[in-house]
Amino acid sequence: MRDLWKNIFYGLLIFLFFAGVFSLLNPQEKIQEISFSEFIKQVEEKEVKTIEVKGNQIIIELKDGVKKTTTKETGSNLEEVLISYGIKSDDLKEINIVYREVENDFWIWLLISVLPVIFIGVFLWWILRQGQRGATQAFSFSKARPRIYGVGGKIREKVSFDDVADLKEAKEELKEVVEFLREPKKFLEMGARIPRGVLLVGPPGCGKTLLARAVASEASVPFFSISGSEFVEMFVGVGAARVRDLFSLAKKNAPCILFLDELDAVGRLRGAGLGGGHDEREQTLNQILVEMDGFERETNVILLAATNRPDILDPALLRPGRFDRHVVLDRPDIEGREEILKIHSKEKSLAKEVNFREIAERTPGFSGADLANLMNEAAILAARRNKKEITQDELRESIEKVLLGPERKSHVLSQKEKEVTAYHEAGHAILASFMPESEPVQKISIIARGLAAGYTLKLPTEERHLKTKTQFLAELATLLGGYTAEGMTFHQVTTGASNDLRQATDLARKLVMEYGMSKLGPIAFGEKTELIFLGKEFGEQRNFSEKIAAEIDKEVERFIKEAEKKAQKVLNERKDLLKKIAKLLIKKETIERQEFEKIIKEYKEKNKKGQKR
């Protein structure tokens, strides 16, 4: 666009130049213009000395030297016209009549005919140049443009290992890699093979990209970074060409580190998926494999890659000599969470009373990214409240915001809805506190959040990697608690329970089909098929008979029915408690963990006494 304006500017400049030349060649004197009849009169009175005819323009010079001008009709002969006006031809002879070539016309012609040609020429040239640029751009698509960090790179990375909390093992491993690059001799002399590829594996948001960036700044060698999705773009065949390009760039700059982020974008298992759309990806992957084999033993290029789906990577990528080192990054534990929170609070003003430990306790299962988000939400919240510092309140509230979405205070419940929601949530909460091995209730609320009308927040006290059947059963019953409480109290259920029912059904199905926790025994039913195309687990292939299918359905039904029965039993025995909590909820809208636990404790003590009596 800027070029267009530039060209227009140049065009105008050329025009002005011509116009200037034109006016220089044709100095225009100020001559008085008169009418034709006045001109005749002056001829009749014999005042005219010379007449100059230039096309239609007539310039007369009077005997006293004054010049005047007028115009005649096109095509007419001046002398004939004058005679027809009654001027005698003898008188005419006394006047010096000069016919001149109309030089003006030449310039006008030039202006009219040449200038547009020049304009069009400039325009065409401009268009062509644009087109050419476009074309070269299109053809240079195959050039991989990795971001280059560290030595020789323009980008200076500010992230260091200190900015990465937790992840000690991963950091150690990567430091080792950096050392390999610094002193390859030491390792080669020992006969050690320099690691070719290091794969960072971990759930989304756990700091893979962050860690790689930290390596970029710690390494004393160039660091090339490119994301898997950048390989596949627009034209078929570009991906493979880019890979070739990238690897030759890396080889030229050895020793260096080459980082492929989101490897799963290109590294998925070949031959899976729908249609031919993945062909391009396969070629790209093949090229990566070829290039990795092409490295000589001495080549000092280390490949670093990150993925959150190692399970779907092509096995060829993972065999020795390729990405054979796996560094697993896990979700942070309580210490890690505390550390991450501290790192992300560095540039924020915090109140002295802030207790990160408490927040870490309340956020099991949060990833590093979630925690970073939490800190940010807290800062936003504090700013909106016109506070100078972030306090514990904001941090606590942000947990829920990150977990469940923002509060929707504007979503006003009618009195009846409020009651129903209160009983529903109270039902969940009571079941959560009276089923064995259940997770403790953190908070109950009937303020709408995200899509839910209310919520009961339960969080495990500790990280759990393995779950028992008892825990699952407690979860199932708790999920049905809302539904059951509504039915018991109002003899009718609402749509508010639909999400709970879906979760419960999914869970029950998993118990039967994946975890082998039903009568059908330790068999995993169904094969997960990956539809590359949709990028997520989509279909389940049946690897069992119709008869088994019916049995699975029966088992799922049994789990749900039993959970419902359990929920009914627990709630029926504690109708007064249900009412108490629901009433309190209607009044206060939220109940925090401590208050809730106090109510439950009081209730239990009272009941014990009652039983003794």
Residues annotated as catalytic (active site), given as ranges: 425
Asked if 18 and 36 touch (Cβ cutoff 8 Å), the reply is no
Taking CB under 6 A as the binding criterion, the range among 115-123, 199-207, 389-397, 480-488 that sits at the site for ligand ADP is 199-207
Choosing from 51, 60, 153, 166, the residue that interacts with ligand ADP (CB under 6 A) is 166
Query: Which DSSP category does 344 fall into?
Result: H
CA distance 239 to 535: 19
Tokens of 359: 């927040």
Closer of 337 and 566 to ligand ADP (Cβ): 337
Q: How far is the CB of 2 from ligand ADP (least distance, A)?
A: 36
Closer of 370 and 555 to ligand ADP (Cβ): 370
257 binds ligand ADP (CB under 6 A): no
Tokens of 493: 């259920």
Asked if 357 and 337 touch (Cβ cutoff 8 Å), the reply is no
User: How many Cα atoms occupy the beta-carbon half-sphere of 191 within 13 Å?
Assistant: 0
Taking CB under 6 A as the binding criterion, the range among 158-166, 315-323, 358-366, 492-500 that sits at the site for ligand ADP is 158-166
Q: Rounded to an integer, what is the distance from CA 262 to the centroid of its chain?
A: 14
Closer of 366 and 434 to ligand ADP (Cβ): 366
Tokens of 55: 């096309």
Q: How far is the CB of 372 from Mg ion (least distance, A)?
A: 13
Count of residues of this chain found to bind Mg ion when the rule CB under 5 A is applied? 1
Closer of 196 and 344 to ligand ADP (Cβ): 344
Residue nearest to ligand ADP (CB): 368
Q: Which of 284, 294, 289 is nearest to 248 (CA)?
A: 294
Q: Which of 437, 595, 567 is nearest to 603 (CA)?
A: 595
Residue carrying the six token digits 């230039």: 54
410-437 residues labelled b (16+ CB within 10 A) or e (exposed): eeebeeebbbbbbbbbbbbbbbbbbbee
DSSP 80-103: HHHHHTT--HHHHHHSEEEEE--H
CA distance 443 to 431: 14
Q: How far is the CB of 463 from Zn ion (least distance, A)?
A: 25
Residue 267 binding target from Mg ion, ligand ADP, Zn ion, none, CB below 5 to 8 Å by type: none
Taking CB under 6 A as the binding criterion, the range among 128-136, 159-167, 473-481, 519-527 that sits at the site for ligand ADP is 159-167
Taking CB under 5 A as the binding criterion, the range among 174-182, 440-448, 474-482, 581-589 that sits at the site for Zn ion is 474-482
Residue nearest to Mg ion (CB): 209
Tokens of 312: 């779907």
Choosing from 148, 174, 210, 403, the residue that interacts with ligand ADP (CB under 6 A) is 210
**Strand ranges across the sheet with 441-445:** 455-458, 441-445, 590-592
Closer of 250 and 340 to ligand ADP (Cβ): 340
3-state secondary structure of 117: helix
Q: Please list every residue from 277 through 336 that binds ligand ADP, using CB under 6 A.
A: 306
Q: Which of 252, 255, 228, 254 is nearest to 242 (CA)?
A: 228
Site string for Zn ion, 477-506 (x = CB under 5 A): -----x-----------------x------
3-state secondary structure of 473: helix
Residue 500 binding target from ligand ADP, Mg ion, Zn ion, none, CB below 5 to 8 Å by type: Zn ion
341 binds ligand ADP (CB under 6 A): no
Closer of 11 and 203 to ligand ADP (Cβ): 203
Site string for ligand ADP, 347-376 (x = CB under 6 A): ---------------------xx--x----
Give first-to-last CA distance, the chain, whole Å.
91
Residue 372 binding target from Zn ion, ligand ADP, Mg ion, none, CB below 5 to 8 Å by type: ligand ADP
Closer of 230 and 500 to ligand ADP (Cβ): 230
Residues 6+ apart with CB under 8 A from 121: none
Q: How far is the CB of 483 from Zn ion (least distance, A)?
A: 7
Choosing from 70, 157, 209, 458, the residue that interacts with ligand ADP (CB under 6 A) is 209
208 binds ligand ADP (CB under 6 A): yes
Taking CB under 6 A as the binding criterion, the range among 14-22, 77-85, 162-170, 380-388 that sits at the site for ligand ADP is 162-170
Count of residues of this chain found to bind ligand ADP when the rule CB under 6 A is applied? 18
CA distance 307 to 212: 12
Q: How far is the CB of 288 from ligand ADP (least distance, A)?
A: 19
Asked if 244 and 238 touch (Cβ cutoff 8 Å), the reply is no
70 binds Mg ion (CB under 5 A): no
**Phi and psi, residue 76, nearest 5°:** -85, 150
Q: Which of 228, 232, 243, 222 is nearest to 302 (CA)?
A: 222
CA distance 545 to 526: 11
Residue 239 binding target from ligand ADP, Mg ion, Zn ion, none, CB below 5 to 8 Å by type: none
> How many beta carbons lie within 10 A of that of residue 445, not counting itself?
24
Q: Please list every residue from 116 through 175 that binds Zn ion, using CB under 5 A.
A: none
209 binds Mg ion (CB under 5 A): yes
**Contacting positions for Zn ion (CB under 5 A):** 482, 500
Q: Which residues bind ligand ADP (CB under 6 A)?
A: 164-167, 202, 204-210, 306, 340, 343, 368-369, 372
Point out which residues bind Mg ion (CB under 5 A).
Answer: 209
